[in-house]
């Protein structure tokens, strides 16, 4: 059975099949955005310090938001500057970030990143990423130990307002169920697919809308499909409704 098609403007005849598929998915993504914005929005962008965003995201790996926030708050309370974090005895940094979990590995990695930034830039700041071409800024971040595509995209989008689309577990799950990315697409591959699909000016609100929807309705287990405003757009809904 073909997936349901959303209402709205759709590709004209005469386009190649690949172009029609891409245009259809973009139209579908725009309809998803419109409905979720009406339900959860608006999400105005508020810039953050890119170095703080990087540290915060590193702490968030393999833990929940509450533990990440607690670890970040303890780190900032114990060390008033990033230079102090960089130069502190390792065991003190580990103790400060322990609530985030995996502190014995996150602590050394964090200090190594801060030392590398200092060595390469002469100061502890990532503000220079604003001026680099986007591909160079992404590559620079990805070259840091422990920084994958999601972490790099979070720093670029949330701190610097640059067009990068982070894919976390909620984004991956919800966009897969909706059929915006093919089944069994890896998270790493999903970054490029979704960046090509969604207009760059919508990366920030679309990201937050999908995350909110994943937390509120489209749960990993027992999704609340009966109250979902995207039922007719969702490839997974017919199977879910049939109990499969």
- Active-site positions read 150
Between CA 48 and CA 244 the distance in angstroms is: 43
Between CA 194 and CA 172 the distance in angstroms is: 10
Between CA 66 and CA 71 the distance in angstroms is: 9
Kindly list the distances between the CA atom of residue 12 and the CA atoms of 23, 194, 222, in Å, as whole numbers in the listed order: 9, 22, 38
Between CA 74 and CA 68 the distance in angstroms is: 10
């Amino acid at each position: 059975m073909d997936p349901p098609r959303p209402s709205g403007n759709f590709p004209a005849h005469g386009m190649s099949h690949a172009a029609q598929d891409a245009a259809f998915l973009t139209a579908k993504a725009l309809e998803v955005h419109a409905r979720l914005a009406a339900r959860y929005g608006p999400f105005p962008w508020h810039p953050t310090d890119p170095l703080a965003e990087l540290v915060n995201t590193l702490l968030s790996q393999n833990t929940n938001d509450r533990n990440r926030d607690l670890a970040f708050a303890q780190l900032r309370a114990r060390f008033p500057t990033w230079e102090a974090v960089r130069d502190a005895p390792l065991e003190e940094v580990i103790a400060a970030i322990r609530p985030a979990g995996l502190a014995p590995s996150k602590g050394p990695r964090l200090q190594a990143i801060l030392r590398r930034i200092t060595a390469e830039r002469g100061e502890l700041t990532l503000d220079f990423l604003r001026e680099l071409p986007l591909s160079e800024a992404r590559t620079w971040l990805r070259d840091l130990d422990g920084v994958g595509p999601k972490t790099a995209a979070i720093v670029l989008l949330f701190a610097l307002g640059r067009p990068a689309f982070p894919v976390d577990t909620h984004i991956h799950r919800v966009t897969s169920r909706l059929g915006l990315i093919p089944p069994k697409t890896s998270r790493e591959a999903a970054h490029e697919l979704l960046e090509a699909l969604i207009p760059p000016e919508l990366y920030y609100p679309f990201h937050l809308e999908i995350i909110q929807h994943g937390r509120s309705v489209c749960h990993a287990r027992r999704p609340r499909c009966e109250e979902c405003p995207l039922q007719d757009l969702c490839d997974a809904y017919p199977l879910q409704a049939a109990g499969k």
